[in-house]
């Protein structure tokens, strides 16, 4: 085999390797794209697990773009709960949106909770959220990992005036049948939510 054939073969192999690399890079860059700074849920990898059932309040998902619950607090901050679902493994995932209707940047005061370790590791987050099961007379706090980080959204930076951010939080699941709960966070009014889904 002469030198010209060797060089031609090497150029062909290089082109194939580059094409394969570009395909892999494009595949790795797919997804999300909504510009949100919120962290993705960790225990629940499937996107479908977080979207709600889509067949009404009993399913834990909203219909026709209407949230399961909507409350407004001080500084014209609006919080919606769009989905509340039981997940395999004995926990509940809530998702929704926070909208800053004020005229200034909002830093989620008190939303990370008043427990010092949790607050330090989860600034600008929903780590201080609670689920209250009135029937079972229990209050459930946001789950956390072994390093003290909440299984919830950390916004990462203040929410600017007029902006909205999606959020999620995961809690231990109340017993089956105790599906009507209150979502509480900081000084926002309680939001009545019906949990859907099942294991």
Residues in the chain: 199
Per residue in 99-119, pLDDT (tens digit) is: 999 999 999 988 988 777 666
Instruction: Identify whether the C-beta of residue 142 lies closer than 8 Å to the C-beta of residue 152.
Output: yes
Per residue in 73-94, pLDDT (tens digit) is: 988 999 999 999 999 999 999 9
pLDDT of 118: 64
pLDDT of 74: 85
Does the global pTM surpass 0.85?
Answer: no
Q: What is the mean pLDDT of the chain?
A: 76
């Amino acid at each position: 085999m002469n030198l010209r054939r060797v060089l031609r073969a090497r150029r062909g192999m290089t082109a194939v390797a580059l094409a394969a690399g570009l395909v892999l890079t494009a595949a790795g860059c797919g997804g999300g794209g909504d510009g949100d700074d919120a962290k993705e849920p960790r225990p629940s990898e499937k996107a479908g697990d977080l979207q709600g059932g889509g067949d009404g309040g009993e399913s834990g998902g909203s219909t026709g773009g209407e949230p399961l619950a909507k409350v407004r607090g001080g500084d014209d901050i609006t919080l919606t709960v769009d989905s509340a679902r039981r997940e395999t493994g004995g926990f509940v995932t809530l998702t929704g949106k926070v909208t800053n209707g004020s005229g200034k940047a909002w830093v989620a005061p008190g939303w990370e909770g008043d427990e010092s370790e949790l607050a330090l590791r989860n600034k600008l987050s929903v780590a201080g959220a609670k689920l209250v099961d009135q029937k079972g007379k229990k209050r459930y706090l946001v789950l956390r990992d072994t390093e003290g980080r909440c299984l919830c959204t950390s916004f990462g930076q203040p929410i600017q005036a007029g902006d909205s951010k999606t959020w999620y939080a995961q809690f231990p699941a109340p017993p089956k049948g105790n599906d009507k709960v209150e979502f509480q966070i900081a000084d926002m009014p309680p939001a009545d939510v019906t949990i859907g889904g099942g294991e």
